[in-house]
Every structure is written in structure tokens, then in C-alpha cells.
């Protein structure tokens, strides 16, 4: 089966065909200073978001959720009680 492999295959030509990274504009990541694509939302190396707008919303602190639950329980106790 190994005799069927084409010896005329050129690895360099194949790599050049898919080497689009050299043509795309890059900028330095503001955190790790490595070159990333200009349109990237987050750095693939340090995985931090480039701008605050792209970052997901931070979860609410647990004490706010606990306070709302306590208020609802007190309200229910006051209405039913």
C-alpha cells in the first residue's frame, strides 16, 4: 500500500496554500503582548478579552441574590401570616 503514495507531493506548496496568517493584520495583546488577529475578541494565548465590551457580564454577587430571597420570604410571611 505504501507504494501507491505519490512521491511528487510538495509540502511547501501545500503549506503556502493555507498560510493566510501572514496577510492578515495583527496587533499586540494589551495583556501578554503577543501578536493576535486585529479582529479577535479575546487573546488565544492568555485568553483575556481585548475590550470590556466583549467580555461576558460578571455574575451578581451571592449576597444580592440571598437578600432578594430573604425579602421575598418575609413578604410572603407578611401576606400569609
Q: How far apart are CA 17 and CA 30, in angstroms?
A: 31
User: Do the domain assignments include residue 1?
Assistant: no
Question: What residues make up the domain containing 34?
Answer: 8-80
Domain count, the chain: 1
Q: Is the pTM of this model over 0.75?
A: no
> What's the pLDDT tens digit per position in 5-40?
555 555 555 555 555 555 789 999 999 999 999 999
User: Do the domain assignments include residue 3?
Assistant: no
User: Do the domain assignments include residue 39?
Assistant: yes
User: Do the domain assignments include residue 33?
Assistant: yes
User: Do the domain assignments include residue 21?
Assistant: yes
Instruction: For residue 52, name the pLDDT band (cuts at 50, 70, 90).
Output: confident
60 Ramachandran zone, left/alpha/beta (phi>0; psi -120 to 50):
beta
Amino acid at each position: 500500500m505504501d507504494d501507491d503514495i505519490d512521491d511528487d507531493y510538495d509540502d511547501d506548496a501545500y503549506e503556502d496554500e493555507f498560510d493566510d496568517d501572514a496577510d492578515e493584520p495583527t496587533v499586540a495583546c494589551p495583556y501578554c503582548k503577543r501578536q493576535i488577529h486585529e479582529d479577535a475578541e479575546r487573546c488565544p494565548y492568555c485568553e483575556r478579552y481585548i475590550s470590556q465590551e466583549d467580555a461576558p457580564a460578571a455574575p451578581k454577587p451571592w449576597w444580592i441574590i440571598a437578600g432578594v430571597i430573604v425579602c421575598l420570604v418575609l413578604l410572603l410571611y407578611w401576606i400569609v401570616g
